[in-house]
Amino acid sequence: METNNRSQREKILRNFISGSEFAAIRISSVVGDQNDIFLCTTATGNLQLIRLGEIGYFRYNSKGRQWEAMLYDGHVLKLKRSVNSQMILNYHPFLTQISQSFILNISYLVLIKENNCVLLPPFNAVENLQITPPFLRKLKEKYPSF
């Protein structure tokens, strides 16, 4: 059984690495319940494993024309330029777009005050996470209790 699981993991990863430009893949189904682990391709072409809980939000860097993941330890993970917002939103249902430039990990959201998203630590010092009216409507549709 262990050999079968290992060969299945190797086959999926081999197919992903050789045949896809998609920057991340949810691999928890491959390795078992691993708390939503993603395999990300960085802007430099490196592969990096990150957990959903390590990501506070994604921001679009208009100068670099690429999305960046803001991690809990203060690091910024620059994603490949081919990654778009829809790809990021497909990573996990907890990722919600709040504007053209920001995608939020909803598990860190505490409240929305005057259209500003207030997050749990370590992201509580971030002040520029404004939710725009169209995305606020979508958030309310997705989470009716908001």
Per-residue pLDDT of the chain (146 residues; tens, 9 = 90+): 444 554 555 554 444 443 333 334 443 344 444 558 877 778 888 888 889 999 999 999 999 999 999 999 999 999 988 999 999 998 899 999 999 999 999 999 999 999 999 999 999 999 899 999 999 999 999 888 75
pLDDT one-digit tens code per residue, 62-81:
999 999 999 999 999 999 88
| Domains of the chain with CATH codes | 1-140 (2.40.50.1020)
Query: For residue 49, how many other CB atoms are within 10 A of its CB?
Result: 13
C-alpha distances in angstroms, 93 versus 11, 60, 64? 26, 19, 27
For residues 57 and 104, the answer to whether their CB atoms sit within 8 Å is yes
Q: Which residues contact 79 (CB under 8 A, 6 or more apart)?
A: 23, 24, 40, 41, 42, 43, 58, 66, 67, 68, 69, 88
pTM of the model: 0.74
